[in-house]
Structure formats: C-alpha cells, structure tokens
Amino acid sequence: MDSVVSDASAVSGTVPGGVAEAAPETRAAVGIPAQPRPDPLAPDTEDGAQDWQLDHSKAPTATKIVVAGGFGVGKTTFVRAVSEITPLQTEALMTRASEETDDLTATPDKLTTTVAMDFGRITLDNDLVLYVFGTPGQQRFWFMWDDLVRGAIGAIVLADTRRLTDCFPALDYFESCGLPYIVAVNHFEGSESFEAEDVREALTVPPHVPVVIMDARKRYSVVETLLAMVAHALDATPE
C-alpha cells in the first residue's frame, strides 16, 4: 500500500495537473482505474434538441423565406413571434430627422425601426429548417433587398388594410423578379376587418397567389402563414 501511495504521489508531482491528467498507462501502473474520455463526435444530450442537432452525420435541409412590406406593417413582430432562437434585430430609435420621410399616422406609438434586417429560425420538421429574413420597409433601404432575397424559395408580403398602397412596391418587386410570394394581411386592433378576396381585389393580386388573414403577434398564425408560403412555393416550382 505504501508503494502504491508513493508511486501515485510521484506521478502527481511529475505530471502537469496531477494523476487526473496522467496518461492511461501511467494511471494503470499506480492502480487507478482508467476513466472514459468524452467523444467529441458523440451526440449531445441537451433537452429539447432536434434529431439533426444531435446527430452530427446529418445535415438538415435549409430553406429561406423573406418577409417584406411597408413601414411599420409588422415584419419585426412576425419574425420575433415565430423564431425558436433569439432573433437578430437591427432596430434603431427613430429620430426627428425621419419625421418627413416616415409616416407614423397609422402607428403613432412606434419608437424604433429596422435599419438592416430581421433574422429568425424555425424547425418545421426533423430535417427541415426554415430561415426567416425580414426586410427593412423604408424606401431608402430598398437597395438591400437584392441581397436578402438571394437563395429564397419565396416571400411573404405583409399588408395593413389601413394603408394597402404601402405594399405595392414589394408586390411589384417580387412580380418582376419572379419569386413566388403570398400576401398576408396583418390585422391590427381597431382596424376594420376585410375578407381575403376583398383584399385581393383591392391589390389586384392574381388568382393563383394566396391571400391569408393573420396576426403577426401570434405564433400559430405566423406558422400557418409560413406553411402556406412553403406550399405555394412547392406548387410554383415543384422541381
């Protein structure tokens, strides 16, 4: 026993970190059982993780959808409501310098605005991950749209029935670039409710483009809108 203790003490003094960090053959020589080393490729055991996150040999199918529309229509709220991660937001405080360009008539309590993009992620299936990008609404930021829509399978144009004309630029943009899109009417409290077909007629949206009524604050409503977009994209570009 004395020899084992002395041997262990000797190892502890010569190996950085002591016996715990000694080589396996050295640990065996002093009678200490070998400890299993963590496998860096072994799946994690984090609660709530998806199968594709635990199995490093699998790569999920990633898709991208863009959410566009006029200023203050609810794009940031849309992304925040559905994202399973903390969403990336580029909100900046509004200043008096923008009073002449940003119309706050319909949203008088709005204090911030998106100056770049919003970004969120949602897992629709074990091997299907959807990335959601929200575009800035002001005209001075439209130059970024070409980069944001690159690689997207489709777009969602949010509309506010109190100012439908604000979504015309987004409709024209997606029509011109040929990207599949749907129209999602974001119902605000205190605003008059309209049927989807009434909105379609007012915006002269083609019959094959879905028009849905939703609430950007409610996750289930946003998920249904995303699923409608995915279904429409598959119908438009089945390959």
Q: Read off the pLDDT of each residue in 45-52 and give the average, rounded to a whole number.
A: 56
* Spatial distance between the Cα atoms of 66 and 151, rounded to a whole number of angstroms: 10
- Give the model's confidence band at 123: pLDDT under 50 very low, under 70 low, under 90 confident, else very high: confident
- Give the model's confidence band at 11: pLDDT under 50 very low, under 70 low, under 90 confident, else very high: very low
Q: Read off the pLDDT of each residue in 133-160 and give the average, rounded to a whole number.
A: 82
- Give the model's confidence band at 188: pLDDT under 50 very low, under 70 low, under 90 confident, else very high: confident
- pLDDT for 226: 92
Q: Is the dihedral of CA 147, 81, 189, 187 positive or negative?
A: positive
Sequence-ordered alpha helix ranges (H) in the chain: 2-14, 24-29, 51-54, 75-82, 145-148, 168-177, 196-203, 219-236
Q: Read off the pLDDT of each residue in 216-234 and give the average, rounded to a whole number.
A: 93
- pLDDT for 38: 52
pLDDT digits (tens, 9 = 90+) for 65-95: 999 988 888 888 899 898 888 766 555 554 5
Which amino acid, residue 210? P
* pLDDT reading at 179 higher than 90: yes
User: What pTM did the predictor assign?
Assistant: 0.64
- In a 10 Å sphere around its CB, with 0-12 CB exposed, 13-18 middle and 19+ buried, how is residue 84 labelled? middle
* Spatial distance between the Cα atoms of 184 and 224, rounded to a whole number of angstroms: 11
Q: Read off the pLDDT of each residue in 105-128 and give the average, rounded to a whole number.
A: 65
- pLDDT for 15: 47
- pLDDT for 148: 82
- pLDDT for 41: 47
- Give the model's confidence band at 106: pLDDT under 50 very low, under 70 low, under 90 confident, else very high: low
Mean confidence (pLDDT) of the chain: 74
